[in-house]
Amino acid sequence: MGRGFGSQPGFLVYADGDVPRLLREVGTAELERTAAMMRRLYPGWEIEESKGSNLWSGVYPPEGTAYAASWPGVEVIGDQRVMIDTPSALPEHLVAASVGRRLVLHAMHSVVDWLAFAVWEDGRLVRSLSLSPDSGIIENIGEPLPFELPYWAGDRPADVIPWPDEEEEPYPLPFHPLELGEDALRALCGFVREGCPEPDDVDADSIRLHGFRVRDPHGPDPVEQEAAQQRLGARRAAEGASGLSCATGS
């Protein structure tokens, strides 16, 4: 049931306050500081510096790569490994690193219209939502955040136009996950990856992230893991293609 969005972020943000405000104030992230953060968040893993990216495109790095930056007060890590169906199952050590801070997880997969986001405050999960049209609501913990309310109230119904040779069927969810996902991204992190930017949005293109190759020495072989990921992507694409729809942008 893909909508045609190209947004597939999977990243975490640790912050000492409001994430959008802090990201608007950042400068160049120090490599040494960022590498130290990576060693804390990937204990015992093999970490090697690689080519970097920026906040707009670096929130969905290639398999085996993480894009990251650490500044006083806010840290960002883009890694496909955090794209999990149940955000409440985020590894404990990653949650523990947020004690005394805010932690935001944001993940989407545009091929299957999947969205997941979560917010922890001082290490306590306060909101988690994960849903897709094929799986329904996978996880729904805590009270909806203000930006969600119009969606749950029925004010933002899914506007999905079928292909010409397809019969129009009701969308399985009361709203489109990717539309909510972009609003979640703006509200929680200050920028969007689809749609029109607003004047006070974070300039994500200008925020540089350092690149790192990361490997769990006790995990699967990277080549085998990448091949498995490609098979998973192909399977998801095939599943989504059966009901692929187009829609005009909002």
Give CA–CA dist 112/108, Å, rounded: 9
Give average pLDDT by consecutive 10-residue segment, the chain, 250 residues.
59 97 97 98 96 95 95 97 96 97 96 96 98 96 98 88 60 93 97 88 97 87 59 64 45
Give CA–CA dist 53/23, Å, rounded: 16
Instruction: Say if residues 170 and 1 touch (Cβ distance below 8 Å).
Output: no
pLDDT for 219 equals 73
pTM over 0.75: yes
pLDDT for 244 equals 46
Q: Is 141 exposed, middle or buried (0-12, 13-18, 19+ CB in 10 A)?
A: middle
CA pseudo-torsion sign 236, 239, 243, 244: positive
In the structure, how many helices (H) and strands (E) does the chain have?
A: 6, 9
Q: Residue by residue, what is the 3-state secondary structure of 139-194?
A: EEECCCCHHHHHHHCCCCCCCCECCCCCCCCCCCCCCCHHHHHHHHHHHHHCCCCC
pLDDT for 134 equals 93
CA angle 206, 208, 211 (to 5 degrees): 155
Tokens of 19: 């994430």
Instruction: Say if residues 188 and 121 touch (Cβ distance below 8 Å).
Output: no
